[in-house]
Structure 1
Amino acid sequence: MRIRNLLSLFTVFLLSFIIAVSCTPSPQTSTSNNSTAIQLGFSAWPGWFPWQVAQEQKLFAANKVNVDLKWFDGYLDSINALRAGQLNANTQTLNDTISSVAAGSDQVIVLVNDNSTGNDKIIVREGINSIADLKGKKVAAEEGTVDHFLLLLGLKKAGLTQADIQFQPLETGAAAAAFVAGQVDAVGVFAPFTTRALSRPGSKELFSSKDFPGAIPDHLVVTRQLINERPQDVQSLVNTWFATLDFMKANPEKAYEIMAKRAGVSVAEYKDYDAGTKIFSLQENLQAFSPGKDMKSLSYAAGEISKFLVETGLIKQAPNLNQIFDDRFVKAYAAKQKS
């Protein structure tokens, strides 16, 4: 009897709920693509901190795009999130994007944020004075990422390979901590982790991305699905980036304050990173997307990096690079500025 009463009460509740729902007016918020927030990932790199400025100054909204900006403590985690479909867009290097495409992810570069011109470094302990001195030493870096790539470039220049060192694959923050603790002899890190690594007494920079111009460009990368389904939102993301650069130029101290806070360093320390990162202007974006025969051209750089990634075993097979770049959004922004 008790069970039957409970069932009767449940039936009444269910019918009441259905009636209430059917009588409730539809909400104004649509479930269409345009109302769904773009999941944009970013992580600790001076060329990507401006996205924090865009968020805090409400520049996404000003450019009519709904963005859920997601911070990742680990850069590799953001790459994996885009591959897994948890993000619609991410901030990535060219070599990491090529690696993702080689693994089957359909990703497209639509904007150049910057080039690394010294903020990616191989830092060594006292007593190591040349790349040749790395032979047999413990060297840490986040496997498969840009500083691993930089390390391999340096080793190749000196006639060495990864087999000649004791490579320690560690997440970038953990790699910096291991170096400071004296657990490894050298480390490959990017700013702001370079500051932490250089706090080890006697440590110094052995070489950096400055020694390999054009090798490490950084980008806004989106899924092809986002381009196909919401091209105007991709355009708005690109527009927001350039609006952010305008804000930073007009309000440098405010921008530094926002970016330094996100980086977890002082404003003075953050300003030191400026020389190591070349933020690309609109004109430099247009030039980068143009065909060329040196590393200033993205298509050329992609070909060279792809070959290198295969040679070093970071990818098994070079991907088709014909569709990895889409310059229409940068070009559309440039055309609008002229009109």
Structure 2
Amino acid sequence: MLGVAGLSGCSSSTASSSAKLTIGFSAWPGWIPWQVAADQGLFKKNGLDVELKWFDVYTDSINALATGAIDANSQTLNDTLTSVSGGAKQTVVLVNDNSTGNDKIIAREGINSVGDLKGKKVAVEQGTVDHYLLLLALAEAKLTEKDIELTPMATDAAAAAFVAGKIDAVGAFAPFTTKALERPGSRPIATSAEFPGAIPDHLVFKAEVVKNNPQAVQGMVNTWFETVAWIKANRQQAMDIMSKRGGVSVKEYEDYDSGTSIFTRKQNLDAFTPGTTPQHLNHQARLASDFLMNTGLAKNQPNLDGLFDDTFVKAVKE
């Protein structure tokens, strides 16, 4: 997944931070590079004392940041908006990637299109981006959630239930898509590639950390771009590290290459710039906020003021 955005000449300036940062991440190809940063000593190189905290269940990481149990997390825009709607103070400082195919709606044999899901049992982790993707796909097929039998389930459990034949379709993200596709005759009937920009993934900090320790935040952003450059220069070694952390084979991990677009610094800056197209975060945030409100997943309209901070990406040297 890392062939799409090699970045050279990243800043290697160090950040001075005496405080330890606890950073959450989980099984998504756009976030697993943090393991490379840890293994190659890039956090320390940038003056950081970082504890990487792995979450087997992605939603646990969202809750950990929302409750202040960790300092920052790797999470989607939708999930950040849900937390902000609930009163959490969070700041997006980096776009890791966009999902460009690694989120999929996968159906059993005999279901050939999203329109065929009418009346069928579909499992998805409620409130996540795959739920969002499902609703986008249903809307395009002129259906709504009421036209299917929605079965809320954690993503790993949903993929397992699908393989076991307990449900007709599943919404999942990589690497759980690999598990789901083990079911004979199964196939993707919709993917995030069909909805450009709808699923951006970020490094999100507690707002108080950004305010009180900006040097550490800068160090994290610097580290990310150095990590992407290191991966490009040491691809095989990086693939070994990342596939091991993701619990999949190297070949499986490499198969995710086209489904996750790692963002360059310029793509980051373009995304942070206000606009009205799918590439602009403020535009996607408005659409996602409407989704959360319309589905009842958020009781309050998320406050977007101060949510996006491009200061740290701007400070990275090209």
What TM bracket, shorter-length normalisation?
A: over 0.9
Letter in 2 for 1:327: D
1:256 and 1:46 map into 2 onto residues whose CA distance is: 11
Shift of 1:35: 2.9
Matches within 5 A, 1:238-253: 238-253=221-236
The more displaced of 158-167 and 225-234 is 158-167
Counterpart secondary structure, 1:71: strand
Counterpart secondary structure, 1:238: helix
Match for residue 288 of structure 1 among 271, 282, 288: 271
1:267 and 1:200 map into 2 onto residues whose CA distance is: 21
Tell me the equivalent position of 2:5. none
Counterpart secondary structure, 1:111: strand
Shift of 1:143: 1.1
Tell me the equivalent position of 2:208. 225
Match for residue 190 of structure 2 among 207, 213, 217: 207
Question: Is the Cα contact below 8 Å between 2:92 and 2:202 reproduced in 1?
Answer: yes
Counterpart secondary structure, 2:31: coil
Shift of 1:36: 3.0
Tell me if 1:168 matches 2:151.
yes
Tell me if 1:55 matches 2:38.
yes
Tell me the equivalent position of 2:240. 257
Gapped runs of 5+ residues in structure 2?
1-15
Match for residue 235 of structure 1 among 218, 221, 234: 218
Match for residue 188 of structure 1 among 157, 171, 181: 171
Letter in 2 for 1:251: N
Tell me the equivalent position of 2:307. 324
Counterpart secondary structure, 2:93: strand
Letter in 1 for 2:290: K
Counterpart secondary structure, 1:35: coil
Matches within 5 A, 1:31-50: 34-50=17-33
1:117 and 1:106 map into 2 onto residues whose CA distance is: 28
Q: What's the TM-score, normalizing by structure 2?
A: 0.93
1:150 and 1:312 map into 2 onto residues whose CA distance is: 13
1:286 and 1:145 map into 2 onto residues whose CA distance is: 25
2:182 and 2:204 map into 1 onto residues whose CA distance is: 33
Letter in 1 for 2:311: R
Shift of 1:34: 3.5
**Matched positions, count:** 303
1:201 and 1:43 map into 2 onto residues whose CA distance is: 27
Moved >2 Å (runs of 4+):
33-36
Counterpart secondary structure, 2:315: helix
Counterpart secondary structure, 2:303: coil
Matches within 5 A, 1:1-339: 34-333=17-316, 336-337=317-318
Letter in 2 for 1:159: K
The more displaced of 229-238 and 127-136 is 127-136
Tell me the equivalent position of 1:14. none
Shift of 1:311: 1.8
Shift of 1:292: 1.6
1:191 and 1:122 map into 2 onto residues whose CA distance is: 11
User: CA RMSD for the aligned pairs?
Assistant: 1.1
Tell me the equivalent position of 1:16. none
Q: What's the TM-score, normalizing by structure 1?
A: 0.88
Q: Identical aligned pairs, as a percentage? A: 60
How far does the alpha carbon of each residue in 1:197-253 deviate from its partner, in whole angstroms, 9 at most, with x for none?
A: 000001000100001110000000000110111110000000000010110011011
2:231 and 2:19 map into 1 onto residues whose CA distance is: 28
Shift of 1:104: 0.6
Q: More helix per residue: 1 or 2?
A: 1
Tell me the equivalent position of 1:23. none
Question: Is the Cα contact below 8 Å between 2:132 and 2:291 reproduced in 1?
Answer: no
Letter in 2 for 1:244: T
Tell me the equivalent position of 1:5. none
Shift of 1:313: 2.1
Shift of 1:279: 0.2
2:235 and 2:36 map into 1 onto residues whose CA distance is: 11
Tell me the equivalent position of 2:4. none
Counterpart secondary structure, 1:316: coil
Gapped runs of 5+ residues in structure 1?
1-32
